[in-house]
């Protein structure tokens, strides 16, 4: 099986970085200011990982095994977004995510880089455009080792270990997901 490459995402990130560097070089003489735009915990991938903890299964002995302990993180992925203003109408959007981890999954730390610009078609209106790209932040579920008695021990998807699926087949259902990597916002504001 061949690996798929993300050439288009790499080209978009390179174009975004080039645009940011071009703006930085044209505004080198101006003093830059950095402002906090947003701080929040959680993300769609955090919610998805928490959802994996729903349910459980019963062992042959009759005792219940809950998924909650495997998918409970002590720290939820925190995101901090900043804006560095390079001209009155242009800025660099950047930030990072801390990532999160539990026994059976991991969300990688992430880095955000972007560009924001605005124009004023008339004194009462503003048209703004921003583009951001996220690098990292992938969600990966980890397997379990399950003992099937006389059948042996297998590496399995923890959530499907007690089901009817063959142990080796459960691994293809491990969650592997990426965050949204590119955002484009176009906003028009009219004040009257």
Examine residue 52 and state whether it is found in any structural domain, yes or no.
yes
Phi-psi region of 152 (alpha: psi -120 to 50; beta: other; left: phi over 0): left
Tally the domains of the chain.
Answer: 1
Of the ranges 2-11, 59-68, 156-165, 167-176, which one carries the lowest mean pLDDT score? 2-11
- Give the mean model confidence (pLDDT) for residues 90-95: 96
Mean pLDDT score of the chain: 85
Reported confidence tier of residue 4, pLDDT bands at 50, 70, 90: very low
Residue 27 has pLDDT above 50, yes or no: no
For residue 111, what is the enclosing H or E element? Answer: strand 110-119
19 — phi, psi (to 5°)?
Answer: -65, -40
| Measured distance CA(9)–CA(113) in Å, rounded | 13
171 within some domain: no
Query: Cβ–Cβ contacts within 10 Å for residue 24, how many?
Result: 14
Give per-residue pLDDT as tens, 109-164.
Answer: 999 999 999 999 998 999 999 999 999 999 999 998 888 788 888 899 988 888 88
The answer to whether the beta carbons of residues 91 and 85 sit under 8 Å apart is yes
Contacts of 7 (CB under 8 A, 6+ apart): none
Share of the chain above pLDDT 90, in %: 63
Tokens of 86: 């390079």
Question: Does residue 125 belong to any structural domain of this protein?
Answer: yes
- Our measurement of the distance from residue 116's CA atom to the centroid of its chain's CA atoms, rounded to an integer in Å, reads 21
- Segment 44-72, tens digit of pLDDT: 999 999 999 998 888 778 888 899 989 99
Q: Give how far Cα 17 sits from Cα of 11, 23, 50, 131, 183, Å.
A: 10, 10, 34, 11, 14
Determine, yes or no, domain membership for 145. no
9: helix, strand or coil: helix
- Residue by residue, DSSP assigns 115-171 as EEEEE-SSTTEEEEEEEEEEEE--EEEPPEEEE-GGG-EEEE-GGGTTSSS-HHHHG
What domain range includes position 84?
Answer: 7-27+36-138+181-190
The mean pLDDT of 159-184, rounded to a whole number, is: 90
- Euclidean distance between CA atoms 105 and 174, whole angstroms: 10
Nearest alpha-carbon partner for 33 in 88, 103, 94, 84? 84
Answer yes or no: is 148 within a domain: no
**Residue 63 placed within a domain:** yes
**pLDDT score of 9 more than 50:** no
Identify the pLDDT of residue 7: 40
Position 30 confidence tier, pLDDT thresholds 50, 70, 90? low
């Amino acid at each position: 099986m061949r690996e798929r490459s993300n050439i288009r995402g790499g080209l978009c990130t390179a174009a975004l970085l080039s645009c940011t560097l071009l703006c930085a070089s044209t505004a080198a003489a101006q003093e830059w200011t950095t402002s906090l735009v947003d701080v929040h915990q959680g993300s769609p991938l955090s919610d998805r990982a928490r959802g994996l903890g729903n349910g459980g299964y019963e062992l042959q002995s009759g005792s219940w095994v809950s998924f909650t302990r495997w998918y409970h993180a002590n720290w939820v992925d925190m995101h901090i977004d900043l804006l560095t203003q390079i001209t009155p109408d242009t800025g660099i959007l950047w930030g990072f995510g801390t990532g999160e981890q539990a026994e059976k999954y991991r969300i990688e730390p992430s880095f955000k880089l972007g560009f924001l610009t605005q124009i004023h078609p008339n004194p009462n209106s503003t048209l703004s455009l921003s583009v951001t790209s996220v690098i990292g932040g992938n969600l990966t579920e980890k397997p379990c080792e399950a003992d099937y008695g006389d059948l042996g021990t297998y590496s399995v998807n923890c959530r499907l270990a007690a089901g009817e699926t063959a142990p080796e087949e459960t691994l293809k259902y491990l969650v592997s997901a990426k965050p949204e990597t590119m955002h484009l916002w176009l906003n028009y504001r009219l004040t009257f």
